């Protein structure tokens, strides 16, 4: 595990350098979207490292480091969904009907683009702030409901501050990613990928 941890640390250092260089680009069409790609077996290690990475980013000059947790966003959305009582009643009748449960939760998350709206609101609140950066964490919580690539593509043009997605998966070629290492390759990312 120590070799994997060392690679993860080296990948984060490279990511920070790329984000810093991206800040210096004057190309108006460049959206500062970055993916730190790591093997799914390192999910817990990434969670352990995240506070240190936040501190490092602050030391590098990003005074506003915002963590956007996909897991927390999903929890908030599902907790406040008006269908929650119905779901709990149906779950009580058939507690192991996972297909129906997953379909209901997928519909709740896709309906109205709930996660996308939460992330978009954060990005809009940071527009114009030169020392802000966003870390999007807990992407594994999207399984089996959504893929982050779909959310990213819907937010095209909204990324006014560097946004780093901590992506459990693997690279498939130069521009494609495999979510959690077992989903089909997805080449629809408009971002810089580091690691993997």
Interval 130-178: pLDDT, tens: 899 999 999 999 998 888 888 888 888 889 899 999 999 988 877 788 8
Average pLDDT over residues 65-74: 96
- b/e string for 2-19 if b means 16 or more Cβ within 10 A? eeeeeebeebbeebbebb
Q: Is 184 helix (H, G, I), strand (E, B) or coil?
A: coil
pTM above 0.85, yes or no: yes
Does residue 33 contact residue 159 with C-beta atoms inside 8 Å? Answer: yes
Higher-scoring residue by pLDDT: 165, 80: 165
Q: How far apart are CA 58 and CA 50, in angstroms?
A: 12
Structure tokens at 96: 């192991």
Interval 87-132: pLDDT, tens: 888 888 888 888 888 888 888 887 768 889 999 999 999 998 989 9
Residue of 4, 83, 87, 18 whose CA lies nearest to 49: 4
Can you give the residue ranges of every domain in the chain? 2-195
Q: What percent of the chain is modeled with pLDDT above 90?
A: 46
Widest CA span in the chain: 58
Average pLDDT over residues 53-75: 94
Fold assignment, 2-195: Rossmann fold (3.40.50)
């Amino acid at each position: 595990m120590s070799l994997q941890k060392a690679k993860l640390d080296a990948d984060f250092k490279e990511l920070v350098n790329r984000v810093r260089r991206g800040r210096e680009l004057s190309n108006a069409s460049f959206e500062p979207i970055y993916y730190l790609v790591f093997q799914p077996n390192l999910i817990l290690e990434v969670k352990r490292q995240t506070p240190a990475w936040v501190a490092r980013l602050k030391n590098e000059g990003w005074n506003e480091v915002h963590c956007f947790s996909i897991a927390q966003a999903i929890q908030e959305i599902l907790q406040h969904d008006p269908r929650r009582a119905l779901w709990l009643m149906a779950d009580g009748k058939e507690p192991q009907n996972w297909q129906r449960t997953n379909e209901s939760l997928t519909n709740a998350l896709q309906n109205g683009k709930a996660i996308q709206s939460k992330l978009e609101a954060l990005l809009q609140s940071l527009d114009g702030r030169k020392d802000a950066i966003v870390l999007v964490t807990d992407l594994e919580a999207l399984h089996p409901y959504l893929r982050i690539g779909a959310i990213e593509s819907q937010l095209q043009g909204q990324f006014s501050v560097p946004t780093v997605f901590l992506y459990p998966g693997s690279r498939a070629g130069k521009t494609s990613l495999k979510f959690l290492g077992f989903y089909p390759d997805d080449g629809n990312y408009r971002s810089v990928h580091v690691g993997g």
